Amino acid sequence: MTERTNTITVLGLGPMGTAIAHAIAASGRPVAAWNRTPRTRTALGLTTDAIRLADDPVEAVEAAGIVVLCVRDHTAACEVIERIAPAVGQRIVVNAATGTPAEARASATAAERLGIAYVTAAIMVPTPLVGTDESLVLYAGADDELDALGPLLDALGGTADLTGTDHAVPPALDLAMLDVYFAGMDAHLHATALAAANGIEPARFLPYARGIVSTLGDSLAGLTDAVARRRYDGGQASLAMCRAFLEHIVGSSRDADIDPGIAGLVLDASRDAERDHPGTTDWDVVAERFLPTR
């Protein structure tokens, strides 16, 4: 293997780009790197000589067989892609910029017009887990491009999920997972405040919070099945019963002078659903407000 094909280039040295560069270097492969804002190696967090810092993105690309683009967003990514396009040749460009599904498709289309072999990536873990067994990265692209990513997949470790040819899938999965994550964090903070308003210390509440999160995890398969079938007749938790629970949560929050937060929104959705469906219907029917009209 030549130096040109063995080297992996990383364009963009923010926290995630730096973590990627270090993971590649730790795997034994040389790394060429470039950052849009010129800074010293120390300021960029480059702690190994295996990562060579280039002054220009074209210079970094010319050293590589695979190019990983990890900049702020798709607008910045497209600017870099335009700049490096004349030097890319047969190299694979992996765009790990964060964005929406629509932006991912548009960026892929732009790269295709430039004749670039292009893959969309979504990195699903925080920087400390990049390069570990717990790493998870989603990729989309043509089969030939995905097949050529072996050196990068090996370097980043963990699980590489090859999702197919639709470039919207990795960011859609990324945002969907974050949707659950941020709603869960907000709900936990609200619940902790509600418990504290009733004399329960946060540390005392934490085991109970972990328990209910586990119960939620066990419930996801049933929710998914109900939405997939668009049938809400399992008889596990009725709309009327859950609406009553939510009224207690919202009422207790207001008694404690706490914003009801997400619970208030879910209560409103439950009341709306109960106007259209019998109270004996499974609470899961609130999903209908998100789904296409039948």
pLDDT on residue 38:
85
Q: Could you give the CA distance from residue 130 to residue 121 in angstroms, rounded to a whole number?
A: 13
pLDDT on residue 3:
41
Q: Is the pLDDT of residue 36 over 70?
A: yes
Q: Any idea what DSSP says for residue 129?
A: G
Q: Is the pLDDT of residue 5 over 80?
A: no
Strands (E), 149-265: 159-162
Q: Is the pLDDT of residue 221 over 90?
A: yes
pLDDT on residue 1:
34
**Beta-carbon neighbour count of residue 171 at 10 Å?**
24
What pTM does this model have? Answer: 0.91
* pLDDT tens-digit readout, 197-220: 999 999 999 999 999 999 999 999
3-state class of 30 per DSSP? coil
Q: What is the mean pLDDT of residues 125-151?
A: 96
In the block, tokens 């540390």 appear at 203
Domains 3-165 and 172-289 share a fold: no
Q: Is the pLDDT of residue 2 over 80?
A: no
With beta carbons less than 8 A apart as the criterion, state whether 27 and 154 touch: yes
With beta carbons less than 8 A apart as the criterion, state whether 146 and 121 touch: no
**Six-digit token pair at 146?**
């995905």
The edge-to-edge listing of strands for the beta sheet with 51-53 is 51-53, 31-34, 8-11, 66-69, 92-95, 117-123, 136-140, 159-162
pLDDT on residue 41:
87
Give the residue extent of every domain in the chain: 3-165, 172-289
pLDDT on residue 233:
93
pLDDT on residue 123:
97
Q: Which residues in 204-224 are b (16+ Cβ under 10 Å) and which e?
A: ebeeebeeeeeeeeeeeeeee
Q: Is the pLDDT of residue 68 over 90?
A: yes
Q: Could you give the CA distance from residue 160 to residue 156 in angstroms, rounded to a whole number?
A: 9
Q: How far apart are the first and last CA of the chain?
A: 56
Write down the CATH number for the domain with range 172-289: 1.10.1040.10
pLDDT on residue 56:
93
Q: Could you give the CA distance from residue 150 to residue 129 in angstroms, rounded to a whole number?
A: 19
CATH of 3-165 among 3.40.50.720, 3.30.565.10, 3.40.50.300, 3.30.420.40: 3.40.50.720
pLDDT on residue 230:
96
Q: Is the pLDDT of residue 4 over 90?
A: no
Q: Identify the band that residue 40 occupies on the pLDDT scale cut at 50, 70 and 90.
A: confident
Alpha-carbon separation of residue 124 from 96, 104, 160 (angstroms): 11, 16, 10
User: What percentage of the chain has pLDDT greater than the value 70?
Assistant: 98
- The mean predicted confidence, pLDDT, of the chain is 95
Which pairing describes strands 159-162 and 136-140: parallel, antiparallel, or unpaired? parallel
Q: Is the pLDDT of residue 228 over 80?
A: yes
Q: Identify the band that residue 6 occupies on the pLDDT scale cut at 50, 70 and 90.
A: confident
